[in-house]
A and B are shown apart, each in its own frame.
Chain A
């Protein structure tokens, strides 16, 4: 039983077909990442799944009563618009002070209520957007390049937060990204996109697939190797990543 699925979906902008014959599904509690280079249509796919962009062909199914929390790619808050974090959380549905506080604590932004949105740093804003998406207790979180503009530590801690949220709330996560290594670490399944689905599978399977290598070139190998190295090191320190999807793989590496 999947939460959300697309069957043979095509999206066209005028005469240009930006997405061709996309079929995918997201199961409860899983973290799926759509990975692709710039212009591969990954944001468009997410927006089509959300119903923002109309679909030319194919169909999409949602589990009845599924609540989706959406974190957009970026939020350009006009300096002319005064709005505090607390007020923002009450858009478009007003929420109680208690739920607002809980959501901010959840993303590690407690006490930020009275900050103006336009004064937040990129990382803080992403967390506030996530807090807002969590207020509705969604069964599925959809994130569009959530770490764009964050530095590497910021990026890593944001993906850790996503995993925590999945563990604590059981929400599935479907996100879009063009950055490779950290995403690989945080996903159960990766869908490689370039106008169509090139390949799909666990991060390990995808990273060795010829389609993936063709799409991202050799440069990624270094990054992935770096990631593995870090992870091995982490592992040797005796940290136990109980919910980490790669746990078993790395056990094999050691053996």
Chain B
């Protein structure tokens, strides 16, 4: 008994010490994020929601501005605005709007309004790049906890609705006939997307969240034969890109968020080249 308690105490101390290292925290944040972006990214690719991801993540900048103006936590601001944007887009889509145009208008307007709004708030201008490109090296313990909490919540949500989501993605009619409501499953994805945006803002930044959803999933496509395999491989590819990007960033002193996406893109290129031979 005493030994167990001591062991736990030692492990706890070791963990805490480990978490003191900003690199470990950054690595864990990247891995945590990819747990959510892997499976969700697969759905974004299957349902051709790439632009949808853009609109939602660009809206996050507007969320940052609102949060700073109202002294709310930034995470709350981004979550609320991302969710509002995602729901708006989803309901416009359901009404049959021309999606590429609508999303183009909404995505870039949200970003522009956000950037302009942030410029009105004093003392933020210098920090803006942290929200646009992420600041994974500055992730605190609390933020790391939030990344994992958010990602696990998204993962649990997707796992719970998995069969219904896949059916609705393949064919809304088949889903309907089986008693599944496609609109509800769409809402599940919208909610998951907003959560991921809030969580990923710190890691890769608003401009590159969509890249982390799409590129690892696209990389995984050629190597998988089932949806589950693709989701798992996308998670793995995302985690590798995260760690690799951190390494690249340290080695060449490059911005970390973009470095992660660069590694992801290189993996995609290698993957598709390898498949062709």
Contact = CB atoms under 8 A, between A and B. Distances in A.
| Chain A contact surface mostly | loop
A57 to B, nearest CB: 21
Interface in A120-169: 142
A50 B221 contact: no
Interface string A56-95: 0000000000001010100111101111100110011110
Contact of B173 (A68, A72, A83, A92): A72
B174 A80 contact: no
Contacts of A50: 176-177
A84 B170 contact: no
| Chain B contact surface mostly | helix
Most chain B CB inside 10 Å of its own CB: which residue of A47, A72, A92: A92
Contacts of A70: 173-174, 177-178
B180 A92 contact: yes
A77 B177 contact: no
Most chain A CB inside 10 Å of its own CB: which residue of B46, B170, B218, B227: B170
B178 A80 contact: no
B272 interface: no
B237 to A, nearest CB: 15
B170 A75 contact: yes
Contacts of A236: none
A83 B226 contact: yes
Contacts of A83: 166, 170, 225-227
Most chain B CB inside 10 Å of its own CB: which residue of A52, A77, A83: A83
Q: Using C-beta atoms within 8 Å of the partner chain, give the interface range for chain A.
A: 20 to 34
Contacts of B173: 47, 52, 70, 72
Contact of B221 (A80, A92, A114): A80
Contacts of B171: 72, 75-76
13 contacts: A52-B173, A70-B177, A72-B173, A75-B171, A76-B171, A77-B170, A78-B46, A81-B45, A82-B225, A83-B166, A83-B226, A91-B163, A92-B180
In the A-B complex, the 3 residue pairs with the closest CB atoms: A70-B177, A92-B167, A52-B176
Interface of B: 45-46, 48, 163-164, 166-167, 169-171, 173-178, 180, 218, 221, 224-227, 229-230
